[in-house]
Amino acid sequence: MEACRKLEEVLERIEKACQRAGRKKEEVTLLGATKTVPPNVIKRFYECGLKVFGENRVQEFLKKYEDLSGLSIEWHFIGRLQSNKVKYIIDKVKLIHSLDRDSLLEELKKRASRLGIKANVLIEVNVGNEETKGGVKPEDLEAFFEKVLNAKDLEVLGLMCIPPYEEDPEKVRPYFAKMREFKEKLEEKFGVSLPHLSMGMSSDFEVAVEEGATIVRIGTLLFGERG
């Protein structure tokens, strides 16, 4: 089956990258980035063994969440999140990858507290300092991290980034390395352990794994070109 073969191929490439870096393949979770991918295709990959999927848009996520409610999918939210939409997803996703500003932090705190749940989050870092992208600026990361750490209704599990696009993945490596340094610096400064670095997409996930990624978010390579 085509889906299973593609999944196997990507998992093998992750395993090889782990070997090169002296890591165990169990340390890396493959997340299927399924924006614009229809539910029946998601289901096919699920049946091949892929269980973690991430969506970018709230509306689209809710539709698929409903359509695929019979499956034990672990859903993540990986896109830019508007504060007024937090309430629709907070109790449906295992991890929100894109916390990057005070207004969103406040809304997450409010909604988690009301439901009596802990919301798992990653802080998105604008590692390339790009105007057009979301994410906390590297120079603001420490202060923002402290606020999130002090929010009792949130559990901060690490960092996420979408680095500048480069055709040559080696050119992205320094950004991934920087992310690992940010994580280690925060761990040391605040005396905490951060289990996750969400980084690496279709074009650069092997380099990301070599640099310490624990979640790679892959779309095109698994599901094909998007319309």
State the residues that interact with ligand PLP by CB under 6 A: 33, 35, 56, 78-79, 162, 201-203, 217-221
Nearer to ligand PLP by Cβ, of 90 and 215: the residue is 215
CB of 78 to ligand PLP, least distance (A): 4
Nearer to ligand PLP by Cβ, of 100 and 109: the residue is 100
CB of 220 to ligand PLP, least distance (A): 3
Nearer to ligand PLP by Cβ, of 82 and 220: the residue is 220
Q: How far apart are CA 224 and CA 193, in angstroms?
A: 36
CB of 115 to ligand PLP, least distance (A): 25
Q: How far apart are CA 174 and CA 163, in angstroms?
A: 10
CB of 92 to ligand PLP, least distance (A): 18
Q: How far apart are CA 15 and CA 3, in angstroms?
A: 18
Q: Do residues 7 and 222 make contact, with C-beta atoms less than 8 angstroms apart?
A: yes
Nearer to ligand PLP by Cβ, of 79 and 158: the residue is 79
Nearer to ligand PLP by Cβ, of 55 and 109: the residue is 55
Q: Which residue is nearest to ligand PLP (CB)?
A: 219
Q: Is 219 helix (H, G, I), strand (E, B) or coil?
A: coil
Residues 6+ apart with CB under 8 A from 9: none
Q: How far apart are CA 160 and CA 15, in angstroms?
A: 21
Residues 78-116: b if buried by 16+ CB within 10 A, e if exposed: bbebebebbeebbeebebbbbbbbeebbebbbebbeeee
CB of 116 to ligand PLP, least distance (A): 29
